[in-house]
Structure 1
C-alpha cells in the first residue's frame, strides 16, 4: 500500500525526527552575513482554506463534488515536479496541460473556486535541484503559472534535496523573488517542516535566509504533523507561535504582522508517526488560526477525508472514525 508521499521512507522519518528534536545542520558557504534587505510590508491577503488534493495518489475525490458537499472554495493541487531537468510536470510524469490535472483545475474555476499549485513535497524529482539557477527555476514556475493561472504558488520545501542543501534552498528563494516580480498578483507560499517549538535546523535557516535575501514571501506555512505530538491542538499552536516568533526576529514585525504571514498545514486523522488529529481538534485549531489572524489553512489530504479505523496511514481514508469530508467542511470555515 502506498503511504503518504509527503513523508515517504525511512529517510523522511529520520529527517522529521531530527527537526522535531530541534537538531541543527551545518552551515555552508552559501550562508553569508551582512545587513538584511527590507522585508515586504503591507496587508497580506487571507487565503481561503485550501486542503491538498493529489490526483496521483490513492482514490482522489472529485473536486467539484467536494465543493458542493462542503462549501470549500479552494484546493492546493499537488505536486508539481521535474519530468527531467528543469521541465515541470504533474507528479513528474503527468502532462502539464491536457490531462486530468488541467481538467480538474478548469472545473474548480468554473464552479467559482480558486487553485493553489504546490511544488515539491517529499518524494519524486524536485525542480529546485534540477534547475541550474534561480532564473531557470523561476522560468519553470512561470510555465505552470502561464498554463493554469493559479491564485497561489506553494513551495513545499521538505525533502533533504531542497531543504537541507543550502545552495538549492537559496536558489528557490531567489527564484521566488523573480516569480513575484513577474507575477505580483500571485501569492507565494513556502511550506516547511516544524518541531513543536517551531521550525528547526534547515527550516529555521530558511526563515532567516528569506529575510536576508528580501524574498517577498506572502505566507510561511508549517506542517504541524509528524513531529511526535501528544496533544495536537496545543502542539500545533505551539509550533505556529514558534514560527511567528522567528518571523518577528527575522523581519522586525509585530505579533500581528508575523501571524499575518503564518499558515498551518495539518494531517487529518492518523499521521505517519501515529499522531491523531480528530475533527473536533481540527475545529479548535481552525478557530485559533482565525482568531489570531493567520492567513493560510490547509491539510493533507482530501484524498483521506473518509472514515475508517485501524491499519495506519492509507491513501483513501483517515484511519479514524469520522463523517466523510468532515475535515474539508471544517477547513471551509477558515
Structure 2
C-alpha cells in the first residue's frame, strides 16, 4: 500500500535528467488546487502548469507538467490526473524524464452537463524488476495530448493530480453470456474484458447462459470487448456503456455469428532493381472493406487473415518509369477475383506489362552535371511528387537529353561517384520542371570525414510555416545565428494511429515525409551552403521503430526520409525506456545495417540520456549497432538537467558535469573499440548541452560555460557539438526552462541579445 504523499508542481516540459523532446511553451497558466484533509482520497495540493506547445487555427498540442518538489520520491504508478476539456481526448502520451515510461497510459472521457468532457488519465507500470516509477525529488513529468481547436492555457480547466487513485463509485454492470454458438465449443467458456475509467480493466470467463455482476464501479465510460470462441466471432464484439448518477446500472449481453475460418493468399512479385515494394489492396467483395499490405519485389508476400468462403478482389499498385506505365497483373488480370478457401491457398502468378504514358504536355528536359571530373558517368533518378520515376545514365562534360518530364516538383538522387580515391556527393536534391531547357545538377567533393560538426537542434514544430507546408526558414535562422548546420527534430510514427507505419515530423498527421514536409526549407539551406541532420525519436511520441511492425517496413520508411530529403546523416535519439523495447531496437539496428550497405555515405549517430556515471541505452543500442557492423559516426550524450544529487556528489557546475559525462562515455567506447587510440575515440563522441536554464533548475549553462564547452570540445576534437535549442537562443525573464528563450535565474536573463549562445558555441568550429 502506498504512503500518502503530496506533490507540488511547477515548471515547463523539456529535458529532465536526460529526457529530451522540448516543446514550444507559447503560454502557460498556474492552476492552484486546494486539498481538504477530511476527505479521502483527495487530489494532492498541487500546482499544475498548462502549456500550449504549438497552436494553429485547427489544431493545438498541449502539455500538463508535474514537478516533484517534495523531500522524498513520489510513486506515479497508479497516478490519476483529471481535467476538464472542451473536446474529447482519446490519446495521451508523455515526457517521463529520468524514470521508466508507463506500461499503460489509460484515458477515459466522460461528457459533462456543460457540454464539456471530464478527462481522466491513469499511469500504470508492470512489475518488471527494471521498472522505475519513482519520480525523484526535483524531477518532472508531462502529459501531452492534442485538441482540434486553437487552444490557450485557459482551454484546460480544473486540473487535479491523485497519487492514491480516485474514490470508487456505486456503478454496476451485469454481464450475461449466451448459449454456446456450436457443439464444438460447448466445453469452452465465453471470455470478455471490461475497461473503464482510471485504467480499470478486468477479464471475465463465463459459463454459457450465466451472468455476473460487477459493482463499486466509478462513473464514466466503459467498454466491453468480447473475444471470439473457436471460429465464432462475437456479435457485437465491442459495446460501450456510460455510468452516471442518473444511470448507474447497466446490463450487457452478446451473441456469436457464424463460424469464420481463416484462409490465406500468397504471391511473389518479380525482382526489381529500382522499386522496393508496392501496395497490395485486398477488398472484401461483400462488405467493401479494404485491407492494405506491403508487397516487396522479388520476395513472397503471405496474407493469412482472410475469411474462408468469402469473395475478395486483389489489386497491386503499379508505377510509372520513364513515361511507361508498369501494371502488375495476377493471372493476367489487374483485379484478381477469388473465393478464400481454408484448405487451399490462393496463389496467382504475377506478371508485369507496360503501356506508354500520354506525354502531350510534358517538357523536353536536358541535364548538365557539374562538379564531377570530365567524362564521368553516373545514374540520375528523378521522382515526381505524383510518383513518376525517371532514371537515365548521364556523363559529365555537357548537357544531355534526359527525358520528357511531367511538369512539377522532383526529388533528385544519385549514387556516390568515386574517382581516383575522391568521392563526389550529389548536392542538388530537388528541381522543378516548368519549361523546356537545361537543368543543372551539382556534385561536390566529399570533405574530410573528420571535420567537426556544430548543429544546434531545431524543433521543427516551433514557428512552423503551416501555410507553405514546412518548418520556419532555416536560411533565416542561419543568417541570423551564424549556424550553417541544424539537427532537425524529430521524425516519429503516428500519435493518432499506432498501427500505421509512416514517417511523420513530430508524429503529426499533417507533417508527412511522404508529402515532402519541410523539404523546401532544407533545399533552401543547402543552396545557401548549409546542411541538416535529421533526428528520429526523442522523449515523446511513438518511435518509428515501434510503429513499424517489421524490419522491412521500417527500412522503407527510413529510406523514404533519406530519398525525400537527400540527407545522409541520421541521428537516433533513444530514451525514456524505449531502449528496453528489444524488438523495436532490433528492427532499428537491422534496418540501419541494410541502409548503410545501400548508402555507403550514410552517417549514423546515436543520442542518449547520460550523466557522469551512466549512459542510458549504451548496452541496448550502441553495442548491438556496433556488433552488427554499423559504422557509428558519433555517440552523443545529452548533458543537461543532471539534478541536485550529481551537483552534491560530483561537482556543482553543469558544464563540468557535462565534461565528466563525455569522459565517462569515452571510457565505455574504449572497451567497444579497443583498436582506437584516445584521439580517435574523441572523434566518435559528441555533446548536447541545454543553454540557459535547464528543466531541473539546479542546472544551467551560462554564456561563459557555453564557451568553455565549445573550447574543451575543440581541444579534444569531438566529432559533434549541439545544443538545445536554436529556438531558445533569445533573452527573456522566464523563471522556467522556456522553449523559446534561454530563461532567467534569480531574475537575471542568461543573455541580453539573441544569438549570443550561437556565438559562443561557434568557437567549436572557428579557427
TM-score tier by shorter-chain length is 0.7 to 0.9
The alpha-carbon deviation at position 153 of structure 1 amounts to 0.7
The structure 1 residue matched to 2:524, chosen from 79, 95, 107, is 107
Q: Is it true that 1:333 corresponds to 2:738 in the alignment?
A: no
Alpha-carbon contact 1:189-1:221 (below 8 Å) kept: yes
Q: Is it true that 1:144 corresponds to 2:561 in the alignment?
A: yes
Find the counterpart in structure 2 of residue 96 from structure 1: 513
Partner Cα separation in structure 1 for residue 449 and residue 474 of structure 2: 27
The normalised TM-score by structure 1 is 0.84
Which runs of no fewer than 5 residues in structure 1 stay unpaired? 17-23, 27-42
Find the counterpart in structure 2 of residue 256 from structure 1: 679
Find the counterpart in structure 2 of residue 69 from structure 1: 480
Partner Cα separation in structure 2 for residue 7 and residue 273 of structure 1: 14
The structure 1 residue matched to 2:688, chosen from 252, 265, 271, is 265
Find the counterpart in structure 2 of residue 293 from structure 1: 717
Find the counterpart in structure 2 of residue 21 from structure 1: none
The alpha-carbon deviation at position 97 of structure 1 amounts to 5.4
Partner Cα separation in structure 2 for residue 95 and residue 86 of structure 1: 12
Deviations 1:92-130 (A, max 9, x none): 221225566222212211211011111111112210111
Find the counterpart in structure 2 of residue 188 from structure 1: 604
Deviations 1:221-262 (A, max 9, x none): 111112225312211111001111111101213222211110
The structure 1 residue matched to 2:754, chosen from 324, 327, 333, is 324
The structure 2 residue matched to 1:131, chosen from 543, 548, 568, is 548
Partner Cα separation in structure 1 for residue 594 and residue 720 of structure 2: 22
Alpha-carbon contact 2:626-2:632 (below 8 Å) kept: no
Distance 1:109 1:296, change over 3 A: same
Alpha-carbon contact 1:198-1:240 (below 8 Å) kept: no
The worse-fitting range, judged by mean Cα deviation, of 280-289 and 322-331 is 322-331
Counting matched residue pairs gives 310
Alpha-carbon contact 1:155-1:191 (below 8 Å) kept: yes
Between structures 1 and 2, the one with greater helix share: 1
The structure 2 residue matched to 1:79, chosen from 478, 487, 490, is 490
Between structures 1 and 2, the one with greater strand share: 2
The alpha-carbon deviation at position 45 of structure 1 amounts to 3.2
The normalised TM-score by structure 2 is 0.38
The alpha-carbon deviation at position 277 of structure 1 amounts to 0.6
The alpha-carbon deviation at position 197 of structure 1 amounts to 2.8
Find the counterpart in structure 1 of residue 615 from structure 2: 199
Alpha-carbon contact 2:611-2:658 (below 8 Å) kept: no
Deviations 1:63-120 (A, max 9, x none): 2222123321100111111135221011122122556622221221121101111111
What RMSD over aligned residues (CA atoms) do the two structures have, in Å?
2.6
Find the counterpart in structure 1 of residue 450 from structure 2: 45
Partner Cα separation in structure 2 for residue 67 and residue 310 of structure 1: 25
Q: Which protein has the larger Cα radius of gyration, Structure 1 or Structure 2? A: 2
Partner of 2:621, secondary structure, is helix
Find the counterpart in structure 1 of residue 641 from structure 2: 226
The structure 1 residue matched to 2:732, chosen from 299, 305, 308, is 308
Q: Is it true that 1:56 corresponds to 2:450 in the alignment?
A: no
The structure 1 residue matched to 2:99, chosen from 2, 12, 15, is 15
Distance 1:215 1:82, change over 3 A: same
Which runs of no fewer than 5 residues in structure 2 stay unpaired? 1-10, 23-64, 67-94, 101-128, 132-447, 465-470
Partner Cα separation in structure 2 for residue 67 and residue 290 of structure 1: 21
